[in-house]
Structure 1
Amino acid sequence: MVHSSLLGQLTADATRDKIQHLAVGAVIQFNGKVLLLQQPSDDFMGGFRDLPRGTVEPHEGIDQALIRAVKMETGLDVTRIVHYLGDFDYESGSGEKIRQFNFTVDVASPEPIVLHEHDAYTWTALVEEPPVTDAVRRILAHYQERVSGR
C-alpha cells in the first residue's frame, strides 16, 4: 500500500521542480493483462493507447485524483492503491510542464468498463509491444519488473 508520506514527498518534489500541473496514471491488471485506453484519433497523441489517467485538481491529493480519474475514465472503482511505479514529465499542448505519477491499483471488478473520452479499450498482455508512448512503455516495464519480482 502506498504511504501518505510518499504522496506528500512526490508533491513537494514537483513543486521544487517548478512543475505547473500534476497528473496521475493507473496500471490496472486482470488475468495477466493491463487495461489500456485508446486516445481519440483527433486528440493530442491520437491513436496511441494510454493508461487510465487524469489531472490532479487543486483541492485534491494525488490519491484522491487517482481514484476519481479511474472512475471517470473507466467506470471502475479503485479499492486499493498498491505500488508507486514512477513518474514522467511532459509538456501540454499549451506548453505547461506536467508531471504524471503512476501507480498500480486494485479495482472492485474489472467490468463493466464505461468509456466517456476514449475510442476503445483493450486488456493487453505485455508480451506484445502496445502502441504507447516511450514514457508509458517505461512505466509498464517497471510494472513488469515488480510483478516478476526482479
Structure 2
Amino acid sequence: MTDLPTTDALTAQDTADGIQQQVVGAVIRDGATALLLQRPVDDFRGGTWELPSGKVDPGEDLDEALRREVAEETGLSVASVSAYLGAFEYTSGSGKHTRQHTWAVSVEPGEIQLTEHDEYAWALPGEKPVSDEVLKLLARGDARDG
C-alpha cells in the first residue's frame, strides 16, 4: 500500500498556502480505463470531461468529502483509497483560489447513476478531452498500477 498523506496535513498546508476552497477528486479504474464525467454545457467549464470530484464542505474531512462526492456524482461507494495522486490549483467559477486533491480509489460493484453530469465514459487517456492536470493525474495512476 502506498503511504497516504494525512488529510489533516493536506488541510493544514492548504490553509498555510491561502487556499480558499478545497476540492476532492477520484481516479476510478476499470482495467486500463478510468471513469470520466462530462460537465453540463451551461455549467462552469461546461462540456469538459473530468474526474468525479467536488467541493469540500466547511468542517468536512477530505476523506469524508471524497467518499460523499463519489457517491453523489456516480452513485458508487468507495471501497478503498489506494494512493494519493497529487493536487492542482485553479480559480473557481466564483473566483476562489481552489486546490483539488485527487486519490486513486476502488469502488464497490454497482450501477453508475449520474446526478450532476450529462454523460459518463470509461476511457483510456486521450480518448476524451480533459485538462492537462487530469491527464497528469491519470498518468500518475498508471505509473502506480504498472
Match of 1:140 among 135, 138, 141: 138
For the structure 1 residues 139 and 81, does the alpha-carbon distance in structure 2 shift closer, same or farther, using more than 3 Å as the test?
Answer: same
Asked if residue 73 in structure 1 is aligned to residue 73 in structure 2, the reply is yes
TM-score under structure 1 normalisation?
0.91
TM-superposed deviation, 1:100: 0.4
TM-superposed deviation, 1:79: 1.1
Deviations 1:104-136 (CA, angstroms, capped at 9, x unpaired): 111111x3100011000000123x342011111
Aligned identity (percent) is 46
Aligned to 1:130: 128
Q: Which runs of 4+ in 1 moved over 2 A?
A: 1-6
TM-superposed deviation, 1:141: 1.4
Asked if residue 35 in structure 1 is aligned to residue 35 in structure 2, the reply is yes
Q: Which runs of 5+ in 1 are unaligned?
A: none
TM-superposed deviation, 1:87: 0.1
TM-score under structure 2 normalisation?
0.93
Aligned to 2:111: 112
TM-superposed deviation, 1:41: 1.1
Aligned to 1:60: 60
Counterpart contact for 2:3–2:83, Cα < 8 Å: no
Counterpart contact for 2:26–2:66, Cα < 8 Å: yes
Count of equivalent residues = 146
The amino acid across from 2:48 in the alignment is F
RMSD: 1.5
For the structure 1 residues 82 and 4, does the alpha-carbon distance in structure 2 shift closer, same or farther, using more than 3 Å as the test?
Answer: closer
> How far, CA to CA, are the matches of 2:5 and 2:115 in structure 1?
33
